[in-house]
Structure formats: C-alpha cells, structure tokens
Chain A
C-alpha cells in the first residue's frame, strides 16, 4: 500500500526539479498537486493500517519512517502555502521519496508488543516524528540558506540567486522550524521518560530494561536535543542567526537521521520494535 505514495513522491520530485531548473510555473503547479495527492494517499494508507491493526502503525522503524515522511510532506506543504514559495521542494521531496522506499518495499505493519500498549505510546512517537519532520525542514532550508549566502558573498549571482527566496525569508523559516521541532522533541522525550519511570520497575521486557541514557538511540537523541537547544539559545542570546544557525540545524538533522535509520535498525537495544 505504501507504493502509491512512493510513486507520487517520485513524480512530485521530478516536477519540482523541472520547476526549479526551468522555472516553469506549470511544472510547479503539477508538483504541488502531485505532492498533495501523495500526502493524502499516504495519510489514507496510514489510516487504513491503523484500522487494520487497531493502533497507530508507528511501531518499529519502518512504520515510523512512513509516518515521518507523511508528516514531512504535510509540514512542507504547509510551509509552501504559507510562503507561496516552491523553490524548496526540489530539496525536500526527493528526501521523502528516498525514505519512503523502505516502507514501500517492506510493506508490513509491525505487531505492537504488549509493552507498548499504552496511551503514552501515540503521544511519544507522534511528538518525536513531528519533531523529526520539523528538523528535516529546518535542515533543508538551512542548506539552501548557505548556498545562497555563498553566492552573495562570492558576488557570483547565479543559479540559486535566481531561484531561492531571500536570506531573510530562509532564516525565518529555519528559525520557526527549529523552534517547533524543539517543542515536539522536548514533549516526546518528557513523555518517554515519564512512561519509562512508570513501567520499568514491573517490566520483564529486555528492551524496557535496556532503556537508559547509555543506549545509543536514547543517547544520540539527547545529544540532538542539546544541539537544538544550543541553536535556540545561540539565536536568542548571542545572535547566531543566518549561516551559523543554518549549519547548526544541518548538523542536528544529520545526527537525527543517523539515529533514525542505521542506529534505529541495527544498534539500539532499547527501541528495536520492528
């Protein structure tokens, strides 16, 4: 079922690329419409899976990736509509298409182990995935900021100068995405911690017992929290906006992505629910 959104994301990626390269308005409209269809189909697929298994299908990394992609699509579309700016699509939508390959080929919903049978589960996972989507957006916006910044500094006004919005717009987008992401990340972590305190004493599940600050997945996500907290602090208190803020958000998301896919699949002892 995850194949259809994948196909739509791939088509949207192509259309965004054509729009970006040739500044063809018709291609831009096709891109947005295809992405809207992709996001709707994806939401429908997740809804169907929820009905099928009786809980949100975010158990395990595969389900989480699918949900992350869907949230990213919605977050991006929201930004596109708010700013009336399509140039960013070419950087974000291909990332969604690539990640969506994993749920599309796996195509199964992980069974929910008894330990996750709690209302905290939906809040914990949804908050963290929303945070990841916001940070992904911030990262891509940050990268485009740096590309435009370099052209302006080098006085070589070319490809990106003609296509990207102003540095100011990109900086504001980055700052908002980081702030929203940080709120979700904090909420997700707090809910996770409270939930763990409740269940750890009585649980025999080895994964629950493995949950500690030293577990790679938990450790790295806390590291990300520190990076993004610093980014927020630096912007407010020492004036790190623009390029520095953009680089920080790119670093933060790179760590998150590593944590999400390779660590989530192969290393963590505590979060292996796939």
Chain B
C-alpha cells in the first residue's frame, strides 16, 4: 500500500491556475465521488483551500495512480495536462506524510502559522470520512495531522502575534481593555483601512461604532456598512470623551486630533484608557498626544512594525517546528511499517492457534477424564505457551525499520512455518489487506 499526494499550492501555481483547479467550486464531495471511480485507489481525501488543492490517496501502484490523478485533475477541472503538470507536485510515503503534517502545522501556509488551515484539514478529512472514502490508514493519518498541528502551535511560538494590521490593532485593544464587549469605538474619516478594522471590531460585541466624516453622507454610508452610527464632524471632541477606541483615517493635511483635545478629553474621562489607532497619512493625531497619561497612540507604521516583528518571531520558530514535524513523521512511518507486518503476524498467530487446537483435540480422550479445573488449566497453559513463543517474533516484525526488512522477515516466516498464502486469509483491514479494486462510491453504499 502506498500513500501518494498530488496537488498544487501557492508555492507551485499562480493564482489564475489555482482558481481554475479549486475543488470547492463544484464541492469536494463531488470530486471525491468522481475520484472514487479511479481504479486501484483504496482511500481518498481532498483538501481544498484558496491556497491549495491537494489529493491524498492510498493506492497499489504509486506511479500509475499518480498519472491517473494528474489525468483526473486535468479532466475534472478542464485544464490541459501540459498546462497543469508543471505546477503540480507529487509526493509519496514519508514525503506525503511530511507534506500533510507541515500543512496542518501552518508551515506551508502563505502566512506561517496561520490558524485556519488546521480547521480546513479537519473538514477535508471529515468530508472524506463521511463519504466512506477513508480507511484505517488515512483516518490515522488525519488524526495524527491534527495532533501535530496542535502540538507545533502549543510548543513553538509559530502561531503567536497578530500578522495583519487589523488584527494587530484588535490584539492591542484587547491587551488594554481585556474584553471589548460594551466598548465604544469612534471612526474619524472613512478610509478603506478604517472600514476593515471596524469590521473586525464588530465581531467583538462592541457597544457602538460611531462614524464621523467631514462629509456627512460618507459618514452615513460607512456607518451603515459597519452597523454603526454617524455623528456630526463638530462633535469629535465630545465623542473623544466617551470613546474607548479611536480610529482615524482622514487624509487631512493637518492633525484632526491635537494634544490639547486629548488633554481636555482625558480630564473628563478621569484616566479611563483611550486607544488611538492613527492610520492616516499624513498623521491625523498630533504625535505628542501619545505622551498623555492613559492615551495609547499607535500610527500605521507602529502597527506595521508590530506585524513585521511578529512575522520575524514566527519565522524564528520554523526550525523548531520542522523538527517536531520530522519527529512526528518518523513516528507515523514506524506505525505504518508495523502495519505492513500485520498480515504475516495474523497468519502466524492463526497457524499456531490451529496447531494448538488440533493438539488439544488429539489429546481429548486423555483429557476427558480430568476434572474441569484441570482442563481449564491445560487450556490456559497451552495458550500462554503460544503467546510467549510468538511474542518476540511479533515484536521484531513490527519494529522492522524498512519495508525490505519486513518483506524478508515475512518471506522467511512464510517459508519456515509454511504459512498459507496471506492474500487468501488475512482478515486485517483495508489499509494492510490487499487492495479492494476501487473505493465503492457512496451511491453503492
């Protein structure tokens, strides 16, 4: 059984192509059901986000199925293979495992450590599992990938610190006010950035967002967009007395809010903190206003610096995160290899059990005269004997570090114990059993 991955991401394909091969357009379940018809594939999952389209599959013949997947991508999305192929990447075995673990950890994301991807990976495998497209192997792989994603984020600082100006502003506000629930925000000016930040603020259950603009009509439009209330331009000084968060973005040539304004406002506020985000260029708030007690003034450059520092800090955690991922890949591969030995282990155990049962049957006339307690004892002793005899070979087989060794051990055991052909006997699950011809489509289930 081979794990293969075929996909394209922001690292390999331009946005124009990514848009065309986006599975979410027709829905991932649809893609899965079409893919399920590809012969030789036993398990499947499709991860589709705005930055990537990855297909994970368990198959018999990696090379052949990879070609089949390329052909599928091309025909499904109606993109010529020659156009698509240079932008696709293919991975196999531990490289495919590593790719998924790095993806879950946010190491492969556009913004390193971003949190959404973990949820997207989870959704992708849930959809595949609900459709009956995953088996023991992909289920285990997906569980491990969530665990890796969580572990990397909790043990390294890769997901810490805001990495966009709007989020940096929100996290600053939260560090000052704790919860933003019930706080008042004042927007001065109606720029795009002010709107974006106000939209983010909205999700934090603010009491109200007041919007002031020199043009009353623009204030009304933005207020409607962010579910706020327009206030007259002349009322700014008064509003400064009650607002907790002020966002300025006017494009005015001279400061709108001066130190004098704030000195006056702060007196009536009685030292209640005021967080001002000045994203106007030139600046809308007189820079010395930041010296007023309990006024926290950040301009656009300050916020950008915070974002840059956070990105640098995240980047500095990448090496540690990669080490953790590598450790988890190794752990998963050990598990995977131990799975390869399962049919042999099962056959060996069955063989021993058959011998034990037949010997007990042969001795039955002699044992019949024994009291029930003694017969139970004989049963137990023989069972323990078989267990103990099989313990070391089972462990050795499961701990073999590469597939060649597993194959050599399995072959030796097959010959030495004349094990029956495993393909006819194994009752192990789909991951290790010889392949089902194809994944049955959900319709047939």
Which residues of chain A have a CB within 8 Å of any CB of chain B? Answer: 25, 148, 152-153, 155, 157, 161-162, 165-169, 238-244
Contact indicator A168/B178 (Cβ below 8 Å)? yes
Contact indicator B178/A169 (Cβ below 8 Å)? yes
Contact indicator A242/B290 (Cβ below 8 Å)? no
> What's the nearest-Cβ distance from chain A to residue B300, in Å?
12
Closest to B290 in A: A153
**Interface-forming stretch among B82-90, B169-177, B371-379, B416-424?**
B169-177
Q: Which residues of chain B are within 8 angstroms of A161 by Cβ–Cβ distance?
A: 175
Q: Which residues of chain B are within 8 angstroms of A169 by Cβ–Cβ distance?
A: 178
> What's the nearest-Cβ distance from chain B to residue A25, in Å?
7
Q: Which residues of chain A are within 8 angstroms of B210 by Cβ–Cβ distance?
A: none
Q: Taking A161-B175, A166-B175, A166-B178 as contacts, is the C-beta distance between A155 and B302 under 8 angstroms?
A: yes
- Report if B309 contacts A (CB, 8 A): yes
Closest to B296 in A: A152
Per-residue CB contact flags for chain B residues 176-192 toward chain A (1 = under 8 Å, else 0) read 11100000000000000
Q: Which residues of chain A are within 8 angstroms of B305 by Cβ–Cβ distance?
A: 155
- Report if B135 contacts A (CB, 8 A): no
Q: Taking A148-B175, A157-B306 as contacts, is the C-beta distance between A25 and B154 under 8 angstroms?
A: yes
Contact indicator A167/B290 (Cβ below 8 Å)? no
Q: Which residues of chain B are within 8 angstroms of A244 by Cβ–Cβ distance?
A: 271, 293
- Report if B443 contacts A (CB, 8 A): no
A136 and B271 CA atoms in complex are apart in Å by 24
A18 and B186 CA atoms in complex are apart in Å by 41
Contact indicator B293/A167 (Cβ below 8 Å)? no
A54 and B220 CA atoms in complex are apart in Å by 76
- Report if B160 contacts A (CB, 8 A): yes
A161 and B294 CA atoms in complex are apart in Å by 16
- Report if B23 contacts A (CB, 8 A): no
- Report if B133 contacts A (CB, 8 A): no
Contact indicator B271/A242 (Cβ below 8 Å)? yes
Which residues of chain B have a CB within 8 Å of any CB of chain A? Answer: 154, 160-161, 172, 174-178, 269-273, 290, 293-294, 296, 298, 302, 305-306, 309
Contact indicator A242/B294 (Cβ below 8 Å)? yes
Contact indicator A243/B302 (Cβ below 8 Å)? no
Q: Which residues of chain B are within 8 angstroms of A166 by Cβ–Cβ distance?
A: 174-178
Q: Which residues of chain A are within 8 angstroms of B271 by Cβ–Cβ distance?
A: 239-242, 244
Contact indicator B293/A243 (Cβ below 8 Å)? yes
Sample 24 A-B pairs with CB under 8 A, ordered by A number: A152-B172, A152-B296, A153-B290, A153-B296, A155-B298, A155-B302, A155-B306, A161-B175, A162-B160, A165-B178, A166-B176, A166-B177, A166-B178, A167-B175, A168-B176, A168-B178, A168-B273, A239-B269, A239-B270, A239-B272, A240-B271, A241-B272, A242-B294, A244-B271
Closest to A148 in B: B175
Contacting residue for A168 out of B154, B177, B269, B270, CB 8 A: B177
Q: Which residues of chain A are within 8 angstroms of B273 by Cβ–Cβ distance?
A: 167-168, 242
Taking A153-B296, A166-B178 as known contacts, 18 extra A-B pairs with beta carbons closer than 8 A to each other, sorted by chain A number, are A148-B175, A155-B298, A155-B302, A155-B306, A157-B172, A162-B160, A166-B174, A166-B177, A167-B177, A167-B178, A168-B177, A168-B178, A238-B270, A239-B272, A241-B272, A242-B271, A243-B293, A244-B293
A72 and B298 CA atoms in complex are apart in Å by 38
Q: Which residues of chain A are within 8 angstroms of B175 by Cβ–Cβ distance?
A: 148, 152, 161, 166-167
Q: Which residues of chain B are within 8 angstroms of A243 by Cβ–Cβ distance?
A: 293-294
> What's the nearest-Cβ distance from chain B to residue A169, in Å?
5
Contact indicator A157/B309 (Cβ below 8 Å)? yes
Q: Which residues of chain A are within 8 angstroms of B177 by Cβ–Cβ distance?
A: 166-168
Q: Taking A155-B298, A157-B309, A240-B271 as contacts, is the C-beta distance between A167 and B176 under 8 angstroms?
A: yes
Closest to A236 in B: B270
A166 and B296 CA atoms in complex are apart in Å by 14
Closest to A165 in B: B178
A241 and B305 CA atoms in complex are apart in Å by 30
A162 and B306 CA atoms in complex are apart in Å by 13
A168 and B275 CA atoms in complex are apart in Å by 13
A165 and B177 CA atoms in complex are apart in Å by 10
Closest to A157 in B: B306
Q: Which residues of chain A are within 8 angstroms of B293 by Cβ–Cβ distance?
A: 242-244
> What's the nearest-Cβ distance from chain B to residue A17, in Å?
18
Q: Which residues of chain B are within 8 angstroms of A242 by Cβ–Cβ distance?
A: 271, 273, 293-294
> What's the nearest-Cβ distance from chain A to residue B313, in Å?
9
> What's the nearest-Cβ distance from chain B to residue A26, in Å?
10
> What's the nearest-Cβ distance from chain A to residue B156, in Å?
11
A167 and B174 CA atoms in complex are apart in Å by 9
Q: Which residues of chain B are within 8 angstroms of A241 by Cβ–Cβ distance?
A: 270-272
> What's the nearest-Cβ distance from chain B to residue A135, in Å?
22
